[in-house]
């Protein structure tokens, strides 16, 4: 599949692009700066320039699936969180609809399905993720929503806990998140599903 990766230059996004290459897909890395292009070209991945705050139509031509892995990050204010994590994600969903891209995988966050229970400091972030996820669910696309726990830069283990709901707010490596997302892209049973994701014992390659 030719897969548009939004947020490709991010720490999870880079793993997603390389896992897509490893599994025989054709990633198209959406980046917002020309300086970011060579990193992807060197691994034979296509790139397209796009900023979620502007027009992004150019990224959606000849695309079979979208993975949304962008986010404004922890150092910005609530305004940017709403602009990128919420409105940027909603814009990407609407563009997928407009361009007939049926498959959409959203990198969300654990607890985005219950933002009202979050501590005040991160409630706006979880509400932004929540609204984006709810928009995707209603969009009529073949969606999968992945809500990981706290992300680490540890090496991937190839094993995770992927469930509709996980009770403990555990950790997971960014590499394992990326591998799980790429796996779910082509698992028919993952369509119209939302999952929590933390480290665990389930082999990613066995996810059905
Ligand atoms: P990251 O390294 O900060 O990557 C975020 C990416 O989004 C960056 O590549 C950034 O582009 C891109 N981006 C930001 N604003 C954009 C815009 N206006 N247009 C296009 N792209 C834009 O984050 P990460 O560690 O990979 O995590 C990915 C996401 O996982 C987070 O954003 C968060 O929503 C979610 N998450 C995080 C945690 C956690 O523990 N940190 C837990 C659960 C879920 P640049 O490279 O150009 O800056």
Strand-strand pairing, 171-173 and 202-203: unpaired
Q: What is the CATH number of the domain that holds 166?
A: 3.40.50.720
φ, ψ (nearest 5 deg) of residue 155: -65, 145
d(CA 189, CA 30): 27
In terms of DSSP bridges, do strands 142-148 and 193-199 run parallel, antiparallel, or are they unpaired?
Answer: parallel
Q: What is the number of structural domains in the chain? A: 1
Q: How far away, in angstroms, is 159 Cα from ligand 1 center?
A: 23
Active site residue 143: no
Cβ of 115 less than 6 Å from ligand 1: no
- Please tell me the predicted confidence (pLDDT) of residue 157: 98
Among 34, 78, 151, 171, which residue has the most ligand 1 atoms within 8 Å of its CB, making it the best to mutate? 151
Q: How confident is the model at residue 121 (pLDDT cuts 50, 70, 90)?
A: confident
Q: Is 55 left (phi over 0), alpha (psi -120 to 50) or beta?
A: beta
Given strand 159-163, what is the order of strands in its sheet?
A: 46-49, 26-31, 2-6, 65-68, 103-107, 142-148, 193-199, 159-163, 202-203
- How far apart CA 85 and CA 14 sit, in angstroms, is 18
Question: What's the CA-to-centroid distance between 169 and ligand 1, angstroms?
Answer: 20
Mean pLDDT is lowest, of 23-32, 120-129, 146-155, for: 120-129
Query: What's the domain range around 73?
Result: 2-206
Mean pLDDT calculated for residue range 95-113:
98
As a whole number of angstroms, the distance between CA 204 and CA 140 comes to 27
Percent of the chain having pLDDT more than 90? 95
Which ligand 1 atom is nearest residue 150's CA?
40
Using a 6 Å cutoff on CB, does residue 107 contact ligand 1?
Answer: yes
Instruction: Specify the pLDDT at position 113.
Output: 97
Res 18: pLDDT = 98
Distance of CA 85 from the midpoint of ligand 1 (Å): 9
Return d(Cα 32, Cα 2) in angstroms, integer: 19
Q: Whose CA is nearest to atom 36 of ligand 1?
A: 109
């Amino acid at each position: 599949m030719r897969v548009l990766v939004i947020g490709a230059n991010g720490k999870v996004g880079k793993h997603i692009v390389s896992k897509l290459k490893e599994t025989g897909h054709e990633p198209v890395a959406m980046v917002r700066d020309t300086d970011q292009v060579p990193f992807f070209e060197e691994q034979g991945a296509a790139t397209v320039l796009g900023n979620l705050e502007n027009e992004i139509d150019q990224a959606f031509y000849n695309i079979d699936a979208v993975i949304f892995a962008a986010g404004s990050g922890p150092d910005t204010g609530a305004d940017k969180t709403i602009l990128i994590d919420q409105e940027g994600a909603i814009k990407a969903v609407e563009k997928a609809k407009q361009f007939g891209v049926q498959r959409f995988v959203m990198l969300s966050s654990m607890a985005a399905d219950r933002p009202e229970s979050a501590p005040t400091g991160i409630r706006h972030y979880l509400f932004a993720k929540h609204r984006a996820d709810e928009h995707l669910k209603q969009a009529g696309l073949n969606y999968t929503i992945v809500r990981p726990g706290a992300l680490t830069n540890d090496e991937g283990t190839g094993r995770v806990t992927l469930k509709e709901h996980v009770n403990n707010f555990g950790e997971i490596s960014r590499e394992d998140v990326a591998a799980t997302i790429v796996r779910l892209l082509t698992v028919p049973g993952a369509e119209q599903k939302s999952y929590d994701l933390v480290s665990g014992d389930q082999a990613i390659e066995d996810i059905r």
